[in-house]
Amino acid sequence: MTATILDGTKVAKRADQVFQETVQELKQHQIIPGLAVILVGDNPASAVYVRNKQRRAEKIGLNYQLFHLPVTVSQDELLELIQRLNQDPQVDGLMVQMPLPAQIDAMVVMNTIAPEKDVDGFSIANVGRLWSGMFGNFPGTPRGIMRLLHEYQVPIAGQHAVVIGRSDIVGKPMAALLLRENATVTIAHSHTRDLRSLTRQADILVVAVGQAGLISGADIKPGAVVVDVGMNRNEAGKLVGDIDFPSVAQVAKMVTPVPGGVGPMTITGLLEQVVTLAQRRVEQND
């Protein structure tokens, strides 16, 4: 058996076409959805993601603004910029690229962004909304993954989903979204005993650790759907995920590649969030 590839690049392109049409319609209401991204310092990986975001945002017609601050910026200066953008009616969505330099407290930053503009969904208001089943802004990666699973009509209700990783930006919100759609969810992390006995029970396995080759074909249930969030560089400098793709593809029903899987869908999740916020602006005007 060889697994079907969950093609994030293809699904992301299709989503962009839909978003582009929605943005055109919004423009007839004199609304141009705005996304502001704050990048601090010159982390090379962040530069790649921010460039990808900009390309996609401009393609669908968003008013995209990048604020690139030096690595030495003070926390107060960063907070002042956030407060100014919180007030700016042109800005529907505002995000600060992670990671941040050591002099800046990411928790304070995330909770200074107005919750209604917090398109990453990192603020405590949005985390609360996520876990209590309300409408809110939710992180791009899990949002994008849910969209990918829906596109391929992966059943979720009643399935056993195992999420490896419990970070605030991937693992926890992933578990919350799967739970909201009635999966039975297990969250594993570095203290989990006998990880493999859990992964072998998963109908849906999401791997978000940051360790190349963590999961191989022998660790999964035949016919499972495997989502690889990991992004690692191998010895050759090539981008690889957390799974041993060739062996997993022999056993799984569906699997995401790296690159071209979750990465592009993360940006889709973000753009979807910005467009949704701008649509609400129209509804409020009507």
Ligand X SMILES: Nc1nc(=O)c2c([nH]1)NC[C@@H]1CN(c3ccc(C(=O)N[C@@H](CCC(=O)O)C(=O)O)cc3)C=[N+]21
Give me the residue whose beta carbon is nearest to ligand X.
263
C-beta of residue 94 within 8 angstroms of C-beta of residue 123:
no
Q: Is 167 annotated as a binding residue?
A: yes
- Taking CB under 6 A as the binding criterion, the range among 20-28, 48-56, 196-204, 206-214 that sits at the site for ligand X is 48-56
Identify which of residues 101 and 260 has a Cβ nearer to Mg ion in the complex: 260
Selected binder of ligand X within 33, 115, 140, 171 (CB under 6 A): 140
Q: Under the criterion CB under 6 A, does residue 171 sit at the interface with ligand X? A: no
Select the binding partner of residue 98 from ligand X, ligand NDP, Mg ion, none (C-beta < 5 to 8 A, by kind). ligand X
- Residue 28's contacts (CB-CB under 8 Å, 6 or more residues apart) are none
Q: Under the criterion CB under 6 A, does residue 226 sit at the interface with ligand X? A: no
Q: Under the criterion CB under 6 A, does residue 69 sit at the interface with ligand X? A: no
Q: Facing residues of 163 across strands?
A: 187, 206
Q: How far apart are alpha carbons 212 and 194 in whole angstroms?
A: 19
Count residues binding ligand NDP (CB under 6 A).
25
Q: Under the criterion CB under 6 A, does residue 97 sit at the interface with ligand X? A: yes
Instruction: Tell which positions 223-282 bind Mg ion, by CB under 5 A.
Output: 258-259, 261-263
Q: Under the criterion CB under 6 A, does residue 212 sit at the interface with ligand X? A: no
Q: Under the criterion CB under 6 A, does residue 167 sit at the interface with ligand NDP? A: yes
HSE of 255, CA atoms in CB hemisphere, 13 A: 28
CB-count burial class (<10 Å; 0-12, 13-18, 19+) for 143: buried
C-beta of residue 245 within 8 angstroms of C-beta of residue 115:
no
C-beta of residue 159 within 8 angstroms of C-beta of residue 202:
no
Q: How far apart are alpha carbons 19 and 104 in whole angstroms?
A: 34
- Taking CB under 6 A as the binding criterion, the range among 17-25, 65-73, 158-166, 260-268 that sits at the site for ligand X is 260-268
Bind-site residues for NADP(+): 165-167
Which residues contribute to the site for Mg ion (CB under 5 A)?
258-259, 261-263
